[in-house]
Structure 1
Amino acid sequence: MLKVEITSTEFDQRSGTSKKTGQPWEIRTQAAYIHKQGQPYPEKVGLTLQDGQLPYQVGVYTLDLNQCFKVGDFGRLTLDERNFVLKPYVKQQSTAKPAA
């Protein structure tokens, strides 16, 4: 399972005007750290916030896989790079029964 850690609610905001269309654009990116299994240290990544989306609160999350994938060209499973949705991480309890 991929864990995503948010350590700050701050985000970077960039904006401008498209040279092709003349339309304004804006990108808001929040820093996060991904903890991959088997890796000793997390990696810093940027998460794009959607229009009007509040930044994620400080905490640990997982990816909502139902929102992060889409059916792409030719019916292929594709990662939806603009639609990463996080949900709070809930540590799974062990189902092993203690020895008697």
Structure 2
Amino acid sequence: MLKIQIDNPHFEAKTGTSQKTGKPYSIREQKGWAFLLDQDGKPNQYPTQIVISLGDTQQPYPVGNYSLSDSSIYVDRFGRLTVGRLNLIRAAEAVQQSAQKVA
């Protein structure tokens, strides 16, 4: 299970006007850390900093440990397994959901 850690609840908001459409836009992003594996399946020595896109009205993730929600993963129109917008769930909730699926 992929572990993601949020150690700061703050986010950055970038706003502007699209050169293509002339419409205003807003991008909200929060930083976190992903604990990834190497090519041999062993944990990397250090986590990798990641950027998580937030929805327009979505609250930033509180400090804590998270995992990817199943809703982050889908099959695209070519039948490829794809990761879309990251939706995180608390690590404890992820463990409970996994246990419920096995039962």
Q: Establish whether TM, by shorter chain, passes 0.5.
A: yes
**Structure 1: stretches of 5+ with no match in the other structure:** 93-100
Residue equivalent to 1:86: 88
1:47 and 2:52 are equivalent in the alignment: yes
Cα deviation per residue 1:15-54 (whole Å; 9 max; x = unaligned)?
Answer: 1111111111110110100112411111111100011000
**TM alignment of 1:52-71, pairs within 5 A:** 52-64=57-69, 66-71=70-75
SS, match of residue 67 in structure 1: helix
C-alpha separation in 1, matches of 2:78 and 2:3: 31
- Percent identity between the two aligned chains: 37
Letter of the structure 2 residue corresponding to residue 8 of structure 1 = N
Output the CA distance in 2 between the equivalents of 1:24 and 1:43: 32
CA RMSD of superposed structures (Å): 1.6
The Cα of 1:6 is off from its aligned counterpart by: 0.4
TM-score, structure 1 normalization = 0.81
The one-letter code matched in structure 1 to 2:33 is Y
Deviation at 1:70, TM superposition (A): 2.2
1:98 is matched with none
Distance in 2 between the 1:59 and 1:84 partners?
16
Q: Any gaps of 5 or more consecutive residues in structure 2?
A: 38-42, 96-103
